Chains A and B, each alone.
Chain A
Amino acid sequence: QVQLQQSGPGLVKPSQTLSLTCAIFGDSVSSHNVAWNWVRQSPSRGLEWLARANYRSKWFFDYAVSVKGRISIIPDPSKNQVSLQLNSVTPDDTAVYYCVRGLGSSGGDFWGQGTLVTVSS
C-alpha cells in the first residue's frame, strides 16, 4: 500500500518561499513512468494542478502556466521524496496543498494528507 506523508510549514509570509515535502512509502519516486504531482485546493480556485515530476530514463518536469516561473518540483531519490517550492507567494496562494500519485488515465490513486498553507504577515 502506497502512503504519501507531507510535511512543511503552515504559515508563510508574503514574498517568501513556500516549501513542502512529500515522503513516499510503498513506491519509488524514480518508478518508471509514474507521475508525482502537487495539487492545491482553495475556495476561490477549487482543485488546481500545479506540477508534475516523471522519470522515464531521465526526469521530466511540467508546470501549470498559472505558477510557471516561480514553482519547482524536486524529486530526491536518496530520500524517496518529492518537494514543492513556490516562490514570491501572495495571499492568493493560500490553499490546502496535496501531493498525488498518478492523475493520468488511471486517476490520482494515492494522495497525501494535505497541508493547509496560509500566506500572511
Chain B
Amino acid sequence: DIQMTQSPSSLSASVGDRVTITCRASQTISNFLNWYQQKPGKAPNLLIYGASSLQSGVPSRFSGSGSGTDFTLTISSLQPEDFATYYCQQSVDSPRVTFGPGTKVEIK
C-alpha cells in the first residue's frame, strides 16, 4: 500500500491566518491526491481533487498544490467554520486508496 503522511498533526491558528498543511506519499502519485475536511460527528467533505482542482461549492480560500510525492493544502484566510480535521487521500492506486492520518486545525 502507498503510505500517506501529514504534517503537522495539529496546529493552532487565529481567524484570518494563512494556514498550510503538508501531505507526503511514500511513492510518486503524480497528481492523484484529494483533500477532505471533517468536522466532529460528520462525514469527510471533499475540498480538492486532482491535487489542485477545487470541488464545486468549496470556498476559493482553499487551494491545493503539488505533484509527485509532496502536496500542500492552503487556507488563505482562516474562517471560524474552517476549524476541523483535514485529510489527504491518494487515488493513484484506486481502488486501494489510502488516507493520511489527519491534521487538526484548532483555534489559538
A35, B95: Cβ atoms closer than 8 Å: yes
Q: Which residues of A contact B (CB under 8 A)?
A: 35, 37, 46-49, 52, 54, 62, 64, 98, 103-109, 111-114
Residues of B within 8 A of A62 (CB): 95-96
Residues of A within 8 A of B48 (CB): 107
B32, A105: Cβ atoms closer than 8 Å: yes
CA distance A37 to B99 in the complex (A): 14
A37, B46: Cβ atoms closer than 8 Å: no
CA distance A48 to B87 in the complex (A): 12
CB proximity of B51 to chain A, nearest CB, Å:
10
B32, A64: Cβ atoms closer than 8 Å: no
Quick one: given A64-B96, A109-B55, are A103 and B91 in contact (CB under 8 Å)?
yes
CB proximity of B4 to chain A, nearest CB, Å:
10
> How many B residues have CB within 8 A of the partner chain?
23
B43, A104: Cβ atoms closer than 8 Å: no
> Considering only CB atoms, which chain A residue lies closest to B50 in the complex?
A105
Q: Which residues of B contact A (CB under 8 A)?
A: 32, 34, 36, 42-46, 48-50, 55, 87, 89, 91, 94-99, 101-102
Residues of A within 8 A of B89 (CB): 47, 103, 107-108
CA distance A82 to B42 in the complex (A): 21
CB proximity of B27 to chain A, nearest CB, Å:
17
Which residue in A49, A108, A114 is a CB contact (below 8 Å) of B98? A49
Quick one: given A47-B99, A49-B95, A49-B97, are A107 and B43 in contact (CB under 8 Å)?
no
CB proximity of B16 to chain A, nearest CB, Å:
28
